[in-house]
């Protein structure tokens, strides 16, 4: 028998996330939509501390570490990605743009976590849990190249004399590029070719840190929605980075191996699957879409004076009975303390 009831750990964390959405996102959503490119630092600083208090580096799910010794415990189906989808849905209901402003990111840091060497992970990921919020981004799309990565014309040439990579090219539609490269001490994972004649086989990923000479944010897009999240164009002109900044080992060839795995595309699904975090993107995409749809439905119900809600409507469809209120579990107590008056344990 299929059980549609939300797993208790997910229901518990959803209580806290919903409090954030209701009290910190919805009240200021319109303000930031009408004041494009204004940064919601109060929300960002709160989320930075909340994620740190839960022991994470980002919103991405982390693999459970096996425990050695002791009696074997009953194994339950993994729910990490289901939890991620629920959290993203709730935060996107609060405001999809503000959700994309969570420090620690998902794309640049997920690429490093998926294909970076141990040394690269130690170099780049700890800054995401520092005292100040830091952002990361991914620069893939170019004016002539969208989901077809073989059309990318940005280049990376190796300077043997200085043991550096020299990047040249232009990237567009870089989400959180300004926050990563200007507003914080973050980084951007840049896709470039070491051999244009090789097509996809010549594609590599490089980590460019904020403040690197030769890298500039040249334009901030004016959008129809999700305005609080910046989308920028970046230009790399003789941008020199250390040789060790090529993502992966063996001169990035293992990254190239990952990049040949997937060919499907759903919101750049293929491109992200190539980096080894396909499930993250699918769950995140679904979560954002459901969260935005839920918000639109709630507004429509309110406009027509209907007492129904999106959640209640879905519950009726599934013929479910709403479970009783659940107290936050231990790992959520640090977040509850940060929420202060908004959460009662």
Query: What CATH number is associated with residue 43?
Result: 1.10.540
Domain membership of residue 224 as a residue range: 108-277
3-state class (DSSP) for residue 277: coil
Q: Is residue 254 part of a domain?
A: yes
| Integer angstrom CA distances of residue 189 from 138, 270, 313, 336 | 5, 17, 41, 33
Q: Do 331 and 200 have their domain in common?
A: no
Domain end marker among 221, 242, 277: 277
Decide the pairing of beta strands 136-139 and 155-159.
unpaired
Q: pLDDT per residue over 181-200, tens digit each?
A: 999 999 999 999 999 999 88
Decide the pairing of beta strands 136-139 and 187-193.
parallel
Q: Is residue 64 part of a domain?
A: no
3-state class (DSSP) for residue 247: coil
Q: Do 31 and 125 have their domain in common?
A: no
With 80 as the cut, is the pLDDT of residue 337 above it?
A: no
3-state class (DSSP) for residue 192: strand
| Integer angstrom CA distances of residue 334 from 94, 105, 149, 288 | 21, 21, 42, 26
With 50 as the cut, is the pLDDT of residue 261 above it?
A: no
Q: Do 202 and 263 have their domain in common?
A: yes
How far apart are alpha carbons 14 and 161 in whole angstroms?
54
Q: Where are the alpha helices (DSSP H) in the chain?
A: 8-20, 26-34, 41-53, 80-99, 108-115, 118-124, 177-181, 253-258, 269-274, 278-303, 310-318, 333-339
Of the two residues 97 and 338, the one the predictor is more confident about is 97
How far apart are alpha carbons 7 and 186 in whole angstroms?
35
Q: pLDDT per residue over 94-152, tens digit each?
A: 999 999 999 976 689 888 988 899 999 999 999 988 999 999 999 999 999 887 888 99
With 90 as the cut, is the pLDDT of residue 205 above it?
A: yes
| Integer angstrom CA distances of residue 107 from 22, 102, 112, 247 | 26, 12, 9, 14
| Integer angstrom CA distances of residue 89 from 83, 85, 291 | 10, 6, 4
Residue 300 DSSP class: H
Domain end marker among 251, 277, 303: 277
Q: What is the pLDDT of residue 85?
A: 81
Q: Is residue 224 part of a domain?
A: yes
With 80 as the cut, is the pLDDT of residue 317 above it?
A: no
How far apart are alpha carbons 174 and 289 in whole angstroms?
20
Q: Do 266 and 126 have their domain in common?
A: yes
Q: Is residue 65 part of a domain?
A: no
What CATH number is given to the structural domain containing 210? 2.40.110.10
Residue 197 DSSP class: G
Domain end marker among 237, 252, 277: 277
The model carries a pTM of 0.74
Q: Is residue 67 part of a domain?
A: no
Mean pLDDT for 78-86 is 79
Q: Do 180 and 236 have their domain in common?
A: yes
What number of CA atoms fall less than 13 Å from residue 212's CA on the CB side?
Answer: 29
Mean pLDDT for 1-19 is 84
Band of pLDDT at residue 51, cut at 50, 70 and 90:
confident
- 241: Cα separation from own chain's centroid: 24
Q: Is residue 184 part of a domain?
A: yes
Q: Do 241 and 300 have their domain in common?
A: no
Q: Residues 221, 152, 219, CA angle at the centre, nearest 5°? A: 20
**Could you tell me which of 216, 23, 172, 184 has the C-alpha nearest to residue 101?**
184
Q: Is residue 1 part of a domain?
A: no
Count of domains in the chain? Answer: 2
Q: Do 99 and 123 have their domain in common?
A: no
Q: Do 126 and 262 have their domain in common?
A: yes
| 144 and 172 Cβ atoms separated by less than 8 Å | no
Mean pLDDT for 253-282 is 40
Of the two residues 134 and 276, the one the predictor is more confident about is 134
Q: Do 173 and 309 have their domain in common?
A: no
Q: Do 137 and 247 have their domain in common?
A: yes
Q: Tell whether the torsion through CA atoms of 168, 171, 176 and 179 is positive or negative.
A: positive
Q: Do 219 and 142 have their domain in common?
A: yes
Mean pLDDT for 248-271 is 46
| Integer angstrom CA distances of residue 18 from 112, 119, 125, 210 | 30, 37, 28, 33
- Phi, psi dihedral angles at 87 (to 5 degrees): -65, -45
183 contacts: CB under 8 Å, gap ≥ 6: 39, 135
How far apart are alpha carbons 176 and 138 in whole angstroms?
9
- 333: Cα separation from own chain's centroid: 24
Band of pLDDT at residue 306, cut at 50, 70 and 90:
low
Q: What is the pLDDT of residue 287?
A: 60
What would the two tokens of residue 292 be? 């935005």
Q: Is residue 24 part of a domain?
A: yes
Q: What is the pLDDT of residue 251?
A: 67
Q: Do 124 and 261 have their domain in common?
A: yes
């Amino acid at each position: 028998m299929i059980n549609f009831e939300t797993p208790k750990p997910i229901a518990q964390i959803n209580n806290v996330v919903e409090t954030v959405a209701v009290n910190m996102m919805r009240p200021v959503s319109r303000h930031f939509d009408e004041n494009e490119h204004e940064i919601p630092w109060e929300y960002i600083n709160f989320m930075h501390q909340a994620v740190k208090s839960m022991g994470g580096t980002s919103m991405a799910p982390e693999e459970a570490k096996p425990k050695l010794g002791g009696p074997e415990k009953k194994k339950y189906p993994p729910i990490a990605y289901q939890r991620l989808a629920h959290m993203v849905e709730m935060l996107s209901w609060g405001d999809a743009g503000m959700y994309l402003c969570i420090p620690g990111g998902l794309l640049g840091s997920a690429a490093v976590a998926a294909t970076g060497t141990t040394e690269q992970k130690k170099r780049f990921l700890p800054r995401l849990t520092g005292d100040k919020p830091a952002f990361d981004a991914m620069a893939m799309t170019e004016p002539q190249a969208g989901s077809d990565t073989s059309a990318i014309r940005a280049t990376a040439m190796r300077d043997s004399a200085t043991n550096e990579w020299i990047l040249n090219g232009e990237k567009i539609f870089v989400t959180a590029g300004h926050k990563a490269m200007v507003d914080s001490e973050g980084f951007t994972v840049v896709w470039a070719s070491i051999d244009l004649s090789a097509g996809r086989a010549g594609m590599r990923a490089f980590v460019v840190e904020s403040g690197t000479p030769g890298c500039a944010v040249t334009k901030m897009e004016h959008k129809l929605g999700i305005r609080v999240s910046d989308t920028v164009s970046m230009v790399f002109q003789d941008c020199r980075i250390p040789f060790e900044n090529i993502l992966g080992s063996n001169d990035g060839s293992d990254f190239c191996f990952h990049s040949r795995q997937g060919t499907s595309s759903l919101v750049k699904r293929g491109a992200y699957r190539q980096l080894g975090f396909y499930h993250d993107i699918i769950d995140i995409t679904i979560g954002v879409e459901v969260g935005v749809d839920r918000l639109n439905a709630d507004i429509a119900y309110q406009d027509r004076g209907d007492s129904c809600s999106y959640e209640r409507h879905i519950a009726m469809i599934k013929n479910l009975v709403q479970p009783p209120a659940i107290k936050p579990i231990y790992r959520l107590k640090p977040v509850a303390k940060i929420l202060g008056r908004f959460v009662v344990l």
